[in-house]
Structure 1
């Protein structure tokens, strides 16, 4: 006859519950990372699809944030007149690993509304950060090519910006009120401009690193398997070996 089974002690039950809980948590984290990878792949597909779409004209520009978001990264061709007096240099913005400014100028469309154009990037003067380059801005009507983009990202700052040419962040509503503009609910990243205007336009796109998420998922699933293996060894196999007669 086999050895009589021993009733489970309170400590054994608690260890079993703890192991099950940790296995569920680590497995769930692994599945979450796989889901994040799928989301990133869907985002990449959407970006590539939008980039290949036909350019939007002024007549087809969205009027609300929801419609604008559906058009992110789509090419756009606009004609309008720059408003250089409303130009703002956004500080602490990087391009190709260098600190500098994003040059932001509204373009007034024929219907009177304005689109904030991220015209490009310029480096910061290393000796005097308040010294700004002279960015050529045509006075006549201008055709620009770009892509639909959200409002520039907000950086962490202490206190609030004071009105001026150099700013850390730009609030859309406050800026529109300050400059007396009827702003569209998006911005445009200019992708081409006059030769020799001194602006870089190597705009970053959202990072889609799915391999990172696959790696994290593998780590979580490994933890889950390790917990299961350790529980089986220390709570089942090892105790049985100790009790078995030699």
Structure 2
């Protein structure tokens, strides 16, 4: 066994190492949240500018999708529904209610990718086997004006997990993740890289949730304050613990 002074030095070193390591991690997490807040503020500024800009035509929209994220841009196109098929993205929540985001696929021109158009939010039945009874948009030309969005792919779960149903002679596809590449493979036709949320849809009054920034800059600032507070409390606690634990031993060693 080592001498008391050696044990004391080892214990002090270990306590110091733990204190510095944990304190550094907590502070870094705080600064990371502050950095995320700045990014969100910049993104919000970009979204505001895009909303105020002129509407894009479909060709400009498609070309732009090859160069940068598209969320927030507004487009003005005329398209026709490809079919009466309704697509339902499940596990959505709006105003505390669980449900689906409903979509329909439109053709803008015969040579360009099809466009996925959001019809809006519809509440889900408690019984998953009972699907919403939605009337699709008519298979006639329709002017579509609205904003577009893209969703980040979840690296832990990006599969469609498709289920297909027929309700009142209408086909319904229910899926779990808005993966446009996988969805395009499923339907056998290329899709535009973003979804259109039109300002108005005929004969429909469904809510249209708009959450391009799930966590605001203020949220990140609040989280940063929590991390910094935790760092300060932890440091104070460890200093107090070190003083209570090692001060008597330190005095004993000196004597």
For the criterion TM > 0.5, the same-fold answer is yes
Seen in structure 2, the aligned counterparts of structure 1 residues 35 and 109 have a Cα distance that, compared at 3 Å, is same
Within 2, Cα distance between the matches of 1:100 and 1:174? 22
Within 2, Cα distance between the matches of 1:133 and 1:211? 39
- Counterpart among 186, 190, 194 of residue 198 in structure 2: 190
Within 2, Cα distance between the matches of 1:130 and 1:234? 59
- Secondary structure at 2:212's aligned position in 1? coil
Unaligned runs of 5+ in 1: 1-5
Q: Does 1:14 align with 2:24?
A: no
Within 1, Cα distance between the matches of 2:193 and 2:158? 23
Native 8 Å contact 2:85 2:136 kept in 1: no
Seen in structure 2, the aligned counterparts of structure 1 residues 167 and 152 have a Cα distance that, compared at 3 Å, is farther
- Secondary structure at 2:140's aligned position in 1? coil
Count of residues in Structure 1 that have an aligned counterpart in Structure 2: 237
1:139 matched to which residue of 2?
A: 139
Within 1, Cα distance between the matches of 2:124 and 2:115? 25
Matches within 5 A, 1:83-232: 83-113=82-112, 114-124=114-124, 129-150=129-150, 160-164=161-165, 165-169=172-176, 171-194=179-202, 196-232=203-239
Taking structure 2 as the reference length, the TM-score comes to 0.74
- Secondary structure at 2:232's aligned position in 1? helix
Once structures 1 and 2 are overlaid, which stretch shifts more, 226-235 or 134-143? Answer: 226-235
Native 8 Å contact 1:135 1:198 kept in 2: no
Once structures 1 and 2 are overlaid, which stretch shifts more, 94-103 or 230-239? Answer: 230-239
Within 2, Cα distance between the matches of 1:133 and 1:187? 22
Deviations 1:170-191 (A, max 9, x none): 6534543443423222221122
- Secondary structure at 2:199's aligned position in 1? strand
- Secondary structure at 2:197's aligned position in 1? strand
CA drift at 1:128: 8.1
2:169 matched to which residue of 1?
A: none
Deviations 1:154-197 (A, max 9, x none): 79799932444141236534543443423222221122122x42
Seen in structure 2, the aligned counterparts of structure 1 residues 215 and 202 have a Cα distance that, compared at 3 Å, is closer
